[in-house]
Amino acid sequence: MFTGLVECLGEVAAVRAELPGVRLSIREPRIAGAAKVGDSIALNGCCLTVVSVDAEQLSFQAGEETLSRTNLGELAPGEVVNMERSLRAGDAIGGHYVTGHIDAVGIVDRRLDDGEWCTMWFRAPAPQLQQMASKGSVAVDGVSLTLVDVENERFSVALIPHTLAATTLGRRKAGQCVNIETDVLAKYVQRYVGQALQPETPARQPGKADQQ
């Protein structure tokens, strides 16, 4: 479990094929120095397991499913990723509960810069938009954000200067892909309401075969 508060930006040091997946090596000395094999760390909001670590780099294995359903498959050496270590018991929750399981890949639709501030619009699949509401929470590339407007095909967020400087969102341009995870509470509410609205199955009346 994560909070959506990005700790730092890591640099992609290498992407090596390990069919059917890849091994991602990320350079970030501060996190690498405290990490150990088996730890869970979110890269752009996607929870991955540390498979090797040294003083400056961490390595992760990403399978075919992960590469096809997130933007991690587009990473190349020299690019940066958002990094967050998993929560420990007693840690403060400054963002919202983020599972690290990406629901869909969205696309930056429009970027409206206003000085050091920015309003960013993202296009997303309909099932995920149905789990969003204005003033609710969403994680974009692992960043906990508050939804501003939610439309039929897209949603918007307001980004403060700190978020733009400390995460990958400051580098995002129209047409680029982002990882989207909707609020886990919204998923449960949607499922509960959907089940509550389903008509009850009428009781089966006994037929002749039952009476014999």
**Whether 114 and 44 share a structural domain:** no
**Whether 49 and 126 share a structural domain:** no
Q: Residue 103: pLDDT above 80?
A: yes
Given this model, what pLDDT does residue 146 score? 97
For residue 1, being part of any structural domain is answered with no
Given this model, what pLDDT does residue 210 score? 47
Given this model, what pLDDT does residue 5 score? 95
The 3-class secondary structure across the chain, one letter per residue, is: CECCCCCEEEEEEEEEEECCEEEEEEECHHHHHHCCCCCEEEECCEEEEEEEECCCEEEEEECHHHHHHCHHHHCCCCCEEEEEECCCCCCCCCCCCECCCCCEEEEEEEEEEECCEEEEEEECCHHHHCCCCCCCEEEECCEEEEEEEECCCEEEEEECHHHHHHCHHHHCCCCCEEEEEECHHHHHHHHHHHHHHCCCCCCCCCCHHHHC
For residue 124, being part of any structural domain is answered with yes
For residue 2, being part of any structural domain is answered with no
Counting the structural domains of the chain, the total is: 2
**At 142, which CATH number?**
2.40.30.20
- Dist. CA 5–CA 71, nearest whole Å: 19
Given this model, what pLDDT does residue 185 score? 80
**Whether 65 and 122 share a structural domain:** no
**Whether 25 and 66 share a structural domain:** yes
**Whether 125 and 156 share a structural domain:** yes
Strands 40-43, 80-85: parallel, antiparallel or unpaired by DSSP?
Answer: antiparallel
For residue 181, being part of any structural domain is answered with yes
Percent of the chain, pLDDT > 90? 81
Q: What is the domain range of residue 170?
A: 104-197
- Dist. CA 143–CA 83, nearest whole Å: 10
For residue 93, being part of any structural domain is answered with no
